[in-house]
Structure 1
C-alpha cells in the first residue's frame, strides 16, 4: 500500500470520527420535568370519573409516552400542550404507578414515575377519620382521612363531592353502609353569617364518601344547637340538642322528641345492638336506653351503694365488647371506671387517679377490649381493667399506667383538643393537639402503638385539622 493510499484512509477515518462527534453534540440529553406539584412522599390523588392533569416541561424531547396502567385507569399524553390527563373509574385499582418516558431527538431517554391513588374507597378497616368543626365564625366543617399506608387527605369529603359539610361539625356515626354527620349550625353560624355547604345533617356513602342526602337548617328547625348523633337505621337516627334527644326519620324528614330524654348531656351516644344510650348525672345517675320500639327512654339507675367510689357524675359512656357498658364516673372526690351490666345492674369498679377532661365532644375516655385510655391535660394514661372478683376498686390506682406526655414531644403543642381515639382493629391510640385557640391551624395528629413502642409516637401529621371534633373509625361489622 503506497503512502497516498494510507493518507486517504486516515483522512476518511478522521472524517468519520469527526462526524460522530458532531452528531453526539447535536443530540443533547432530553430534559423532562413534571411541574404540577405533588406533596413529597405523597401519591397523586384521583377522584373517580374526574379528570386530573399533570403539566410538564420538556426540552430536546420528541415524544413523551405513558406506560400501561391497571384496568380502570386511563392516561393521555398531549405533547403539543405539555400536559397529561388521567382518569380512573370507581372500580379501578386503588393504587397504581404511572411511568412516563421522554425520548430525545436521538436514542437517549428520561423517565419519571408518579404514584397514583384512586379515591374510590374509604372503608379500609385500618383507616381512620378526624371530623373537624372548623372555625365557627369563618369556616365549614371538614373530614380528614388517614389512610392505612400513612397518607392524609385533609378534607376527604370536599375532595370527593366538591362541596362542604356544615358549620361547626360536631359528631358522626356509621350505620348500614352510610355515614351521618351532624353540625351545630348548618348553613348559618351563631352570628347569622350564611355559609355555602350541604346542610346541618349530611348523609354519605361510607365506602365512597359520596353525598346521598342532606337536611338544611330550615328542614331541621326544631333542633337547637345539635351536638351528637347515633343511627340505628334510616328511620331511627337520634340527634341530641339543647332540649334532649330527637328521632329523625330520614325518609321523610320528620323529627319526634324522645320522651324522658330532657337534659341529655353533650356526650357521645353508645350503641349496643339496635339500642342507643345516653345518660343523666345526679345523686342517682341513670343510663337512658332508647330503642326503635318506642319514642321514650327506659331509665336504668346506676347503683350508688356497694361500690367504693360513688357514681354522682357520669363523665362518659361507651359500649363494651361483651354487651356491657363502660361508664366513667366521679363522686365525692374520686374518679372511677365502671363496667356496668344493663340487665343485672352489677358494677365492677376500678378507681383512677384523676378526673379526666371531656372537652366539647364529651369524650372522657376510649376503650378497646379491657384497655382504657384517658388524658390529664397533655398526659395520656392507660388502665388495664382487671375484672378479678378479689380486687377492690382501689386496685385501679396501682394498675394505672402513665403512657406519654405530648408536650415533651412538641413544646409548641398548647392543648390536647377534644379527646382521644383508639383504633378497634389496630389498637393504635390517636390524639389531637393544637397550639392555641387562636393558632388552631398549627396542630398535630399523634399516633401511638404502645404494644410496639412505649417511648414515642409511630407517626405524626402536621396542620391537617381545623378544631377537631374527634376520631372515628370505619364500621367493622
Structure 2
C-alpha cells in the first residue's frame, strides 16, 4: 500500500483537469481497496484486544469455524462474544509485547520495536483500561484520537494486513500465532458450550410487534440458565427441557437491532453466554395487499378508538396506532381516508389523552404528524370524511358537511347539506360524493358549496368509487338496486335490480355494497353474503356465516371485499355488553365451488367501524 488516499485524490483531480472523458474506475477501485484494508485492520485491532482480554479474564473458547475463503477463523468465546481472526502476511508496524505478564502495545520503525507510551511515559496495556487504538480516515495510527509518531516525530502509517499469522487448534486449546512468531494460547471449553442456533454472527431474527418466536439453543454441561439481557420492551422465557427461549417482541416497532442474551454456569462456576440478534420487521403500511380495521372502542368499557392492521402475510397488529404513537387516535373513531401519503382518522368524541377529533399520520409509518381538536370543536359528532388535499378535507357531522383547510385551520359549513348520511363518502374524478337520503351531494376542491346534486329514486345506502373511476350507488327502494353513475356528467350508465338479499346499510357506518371490479357483495347487517355480477345482473347467495363462524350472532358493519385479492371480510360479535370482546374477523374466499374461510382472527375488534384497504385510495 504505497499510495495514500490524499495522493490518489490529487492525482485524480489533475487528470480530470485535462480530460473530461477520462475513465477513473481504476482509481476509485484503488481508493475503495484502501478503505477496505483500513477497515479490516481496525477490526483486527479489536480482535487482538479481545484475545488478550480473554487470556487475562480466564475465558475459554467454545467454537472455532473457518471463514469463507479459508483466510482465517471465527472464534466464539464462552461469554458469547465472537471475533474474526485473519491469516496475515504483512505485519502492521503496531503490535503487542508481553512484559511481566502484561501485554502492551508496541510500534516498530526502522527495525526497532519500542513500547507505545502515554503522555506520562507509561506503557499502554492492550487489555483492561485500554487506550483507544484506531486508524484515522487518512490511514494513520492513532491512540485516543491522537496520531502516533515515531522516533523522528513523524506520523505512523497503518500498513499491513493482520496481527496474526495463523491459528492452530488441538483438542484442548487454540493457539494464536502473532506476526512476530510469539503466541497466545487459550483453552477450549472441554465439551461445555452454550450457543443459539442463530447467533450473534448471523442475520437478526426479525419480529412483528408483539410477535412471539422460539429461538433454539444448544447446551452441554450447563448447570443453570437465565435470561441476561433483552432489548427494551421485549420479554423472554427459557424452557430448559426443550432447549428454547420464547421471545416476545415489544409492541412498538423499531428499526434498531438488539440482542437476546442467555447466561449459564458450568460446574466450576464459569459463565457461558449465548447471543442472538433480534429486530423488528419493516412494515409497509401502504402495501396494497394490507388490510385496516378501525375500531370505535367501547365507551362503556372505557376503551378509546384503535386501529388494526393485517399484514399481507396475515399477521395482525392489534393496536398499532397506539403502539407507535403512545396515544389512541381518538375516542369513538368512525372513518379513515388516505391521501397524498397521509392517513386521516376522524373521531366522534373529544377526549383528553387522545389525538383528538381529527388525527393525521404518515401513511407509510403511521407516526402522527398533526391533530386537530379545538380548531374543529364546532363539529357535532363527526363521523365521516373524504380528502382531496390539505385545503379540502370534507367532514360530515349531525348538521351536514363541512370543509376544513388544515393549512389555515379554517372550518366552513356547506349550506344545504343537512341530511348527509352517516355513511362513507366516495372520491372520484377529484370530486367528493356524499349520500343524503334520496340524493348524492357532489363537492369540488376550493368550493364551499354543493357543486351538483344527483337525484335518485330511493334512499341511497352506499356510494363508492368503481375501478374505472365512476361511482357505484346502491338504493333501497322496491326493488333494491345497484347502479353505476358517470362521475363526470352524473348520468346513470346502468342500473340493476337486486332480487335476493339486501343492499341496505341499516345503522352501519359503511356502505351497503362493496366492489372488486365488476363484482359486488352485499348483505346488510345479516350473516348472509350475496354476490352480484354487474355485467350479467346475476345475484347469488354465497354463504351464511352462521354455518361457518362460531358465535356469529351480530355482524358489526357491512362486509368489504379486497379490491386486489377478492377476499371478503366480515366482522362478527357474540353480542353486546361484555360479549363484544368475543369477536372475529373472517376472510372468505368465494373463488371455488364452495366458500372457504382462509383466515380468521379472534378477539381483536372493539366495535369495528369499517374495513379499509389502502389500494382503494390509490
TM-score (norm 1): 0.73
Contact 1:29 1:60 in 2 (8 A): no
Offset at 1:355? Answer: 3.0
The separation in 2 between residues aligned to 1:122 and 1:280, in whole angstroms, is 32
* Structure 1 partner of 2:460: 314
Alpha-carbon displacement from aligned partner over 1:363-404 (angstroms, at most 9, x marks no partner)? 2110110110011510111001116xxxxxxxx3xx111111
The separation in 2 between residues aligned to 1:344 and 1:28, in whole angstroms, is 79
* Structure 2 partner of 1:341: 486
The separation in 2 between residues aligned to 1:97 and 1:133, in whole angstroms, is 35
Deviates more, 1:199-208 or 1:360-369: 360-369
Contact 2:375 2:410 in 1 (8 A): no
* Structure 1 partner of 2:171: none
- The 5 Å alignment of 1:10-21 reads none
- The 5 Å alignment of 1:275-424 reads 275-281=431-437, 285-302=438-455, 311-331=457-477, 333-342=478-487, 343=489, 345-352=491-498, 353-358=500-505, 359-376=507-524, 377-386=526-535, 396=537, 399-424=538-563
Matched, 1:245 2:401: yes
Paired residue secondary structure (1:159)? helix
The separation in 2 between residues aligned to 1:420 and 1:116, in whole angstroms, is 36
The separation in 2 between residues aligned to 1:449 and 1:328, in whole angstroms, is 23
* Structure 2 partner of 1:14: none
Contact 2:588 2:595 in 1 (8 A): no
Paired residue secondary structure (1:458)? strand
Matched, 1:159 2:323: yes
The separation in 2 between residues aligned to 1:454 and 1:340, in whole angstroms, is 33
Task: Kindly name which structure, 1 or 2, has the bigger radius of gyration based on alpha carbons.
Answer: 2
Deviates more, 1:403-412 or 1:447-456: 447-456
Instruction: Evaluate the alpha carbon distance shift between residue 334 and residue 44 of structure 1 in structure 2; reply closer, same or farther with a 3 A threshold.
Output: closer
Contact 1:46 1:116 in 2 (8 A): no
Task: Choose between structure 1 and 2 for higher RCO, CA contacts under 8 A separated by at least 6 residues.
Answer: 1
Instruction: Evaluate the alpha carbon distance shift between residue 92 and residue 46 of structure 1 in structure 2; reply closer, same or farther with a 3 A threshold.
Output: farther
Aligned residues: CA RMSD:
4.0
Contact 2:329 2:356 in 1 (8 A): yes
Deviates more, 1:348-357 or 1:459-468: 348-357
Offset at 1:226? Answer: 0.3
* Structure 1 partner of 2:285: 122
The separation in 2 between residues aligned to 1:464 and 1:90, in whole angstroms, is 19
- Give the counterpart of 2:411 among 243, 248, 255: 255
Offset at 1:46? Answer: 7.8
Instruction: Evaluate the alpha carbon distance shift between residue 432 and residue 115 of structure 1 in structure 2; reply closer, same or farther with a 3 A threshold.
Output: farther
Matched, 1:168 2:367: no
Matched, 1:205 2:374: no
Instruction: Evaluate the alpha carbon distance shift between residue 83 and residue 316 of structure 1 in structure 2; reply closer, same or farther with a 3 A threshold.
Output: closer
The separation in 1 between residues aligned to 2:226 and 2:334, in whole angstroms, is 52
The separation in 1 between residues aligned to 2:359 and 2:369, in whole angstroms, is 8
Alpha-carbon displacement from aligned partner over 1:172-214 (angstroms, at most 9, x marks no partner)? 0000000000010021xxxxxxx42111110000000000000
* Structure 2 partner of 1:454: 594
Instruction: Evaluate the alpha carbon distance shift between residue 455 and residue 362 of structure 1 in structure 2; reply closer, same or farther with a 3 A threshold.
Output: closer
Contact 2:386 2:394 in 1 (8 A): yes
Contact 1:338 1:348 in 2 (8 A): yes
The separation in 2 between residues aligned to 1:233 and 1:365, in whole angstroms, is 26
Aligned pair count reads: 394
The separation in 2 between residues aligned to 1:145 and 1:406, in whole angstroms, is 23
Instruction: Evaluate the alpha carbon distance shift between residue 472 and residue 114 of structure 1 in structure 2; reply closer, same or farther with a 3 A threshold.
Output: farther
Paired residue secondary structure (1:230)? strand
Offset at 1:102? Answer: 6.8
Instruction: Evaluate the alpha carbon distance shift between residue 263 and residue 83 of structure 1 in structure 2; reply closer, same or farther with a 3 A threshold.
Output: closer
The separation in 2 between residues aligned to 1:330 and 1:410, in whole angstroms, is 28
Contact 2:208 2:253 in 1 (8 A): no
The separation in 2 between residues aligned to 1:85 and 1:300, in whole angstroms, is 54
Matched, 1:145 2:292: no
Paired residue secondary structure (1:168)? strand
Offset at 1:469? Answer: 0.3
